[in-house]
Amino acid sequence: MPVPSLPASNPIQISNHASSTPLTPPHRHPIIVANFVTPTNNRPLIKGKGGSKMRKVLGLLAIVAVSAVVASFAQEEKGFVSLFNGKDLTGWHVMGTPSWKVEEGVLVCTGEGGGWLRSDKQYENFVLRLEFRISKGGNSGIFIRSALEGNPAFTGMEVQILDDYGRQPTPHTTGAIYDAVAPKKNMSKPAGEWNFVEIICSGPWVVVAMNGEEIVRVNMDEHPKLKGRLRKGYIGLQNHGSRVEFRNIRIKELP
């Protein structure tokens, strides 16, 4: 497959979404509008003869602004489908110890035993977006293009997840293509905080962004440790003996 038809220095676009805000449409938060038009302590926010008209104008402007944000969010999420329904493990298969469950809409690995959780189907070219939260001292990973047999970190690839906030990046720190490509910088947050990850696979190109910043971009054909890896396989979440949580897992298949 040829390199995507964008500038060579930036063949694939990365979402600017940061994990500091939930991945839910802004229209679920009407307080954005209410703050402009609702009186505080029964006092109008804007006094004077034109106060009522001004409140209406500000309210309309706020609605327009929120509508624009909603439209932008919808456009950014266009074509994505959810891999996790927030209720149960439908669409996933446990490989190894059954240490996976759902708590309050979050997919949780309790950390007993080992193994991984894999998707129903295989994927070749795609954009994968999700959020994760690692426990203190925790270790996990996101498998991409992995096979059923063998170590999924090496039949396909593993995007590393660790409790390693503030450490210098290596091929084994958060965001790395495990044991192959170090991230440009460590963008992980402290244990217990949510991180937003975007992974793009398009032919030989693999791109990883974390918390809104690109940290890995590699051409598998040009990397000695990656050129023999699978180009199509399962999406997986690793049980490495630590508690780790995932949410808002969704994927968009590419040509």
Q: What pLDDT is attached to residue 231? A: 99
Q: What are the φ and ψ backbone dihedral angles of 9, each rounded to 5 degrees? A: -75, -15
Q: What pLDDT is attached to residue 75? A: 56
Q: What pLDDT is attached to residue 40? A: 40
Q: What pLDDT is attached to residue 50? A: 62
**Measured distance CA(30)–CA(18) in Å, rounded:** 21
Residues pairing with 213 in the sheet? 210
Q: What pLDDT is attached to residue 12? A: 52
CB of 167 closer than 8 Å to CB of 173: yes
Burial class (CB in 10 A: 0-12, 13-18, 19+), 26: middle
C-alpha distances in angstroms, 103 versus 28, 110, 181, 216?
A: 22, 11, 33, 31
Q: What pLDDT is attached to residue 31? A: 28
Closest residue by Cα to residue 210 from 244, 233, 240, 176 = 176
CB of 212 closer than 8 Å to CB of 15: yes
Q: What pLDDT is attached to residue 163? A: 99
pLDDT tens-place string over residues 167-206:
999 999 999 999 999 999 999 999 999 999 999 999 999 9
CB of 241 closer than 8 Å to CB of 138: no
CB of 162 closer than 8 Å to CB of 134: yes
Mean pLDDT by 10 residues, the chain (255 residues): 38 52 32 33 49 67 55 69 98 98 98 98 99 98 98 99 98 99 98 99 99 99 98 99 98 98
For 135, half-sphere exposure in the C-beta direction (CA atoms, 13 angstrom radius) is 12
CA angle 44, 48, 53 (to 5 degrees): 75
Q: What pLDDT is attached to residue 77? A: 81
Residues pairing with 153 in the sheet? none
**Measured distance CA(7)–CA(154) in Å, rounded:** 30
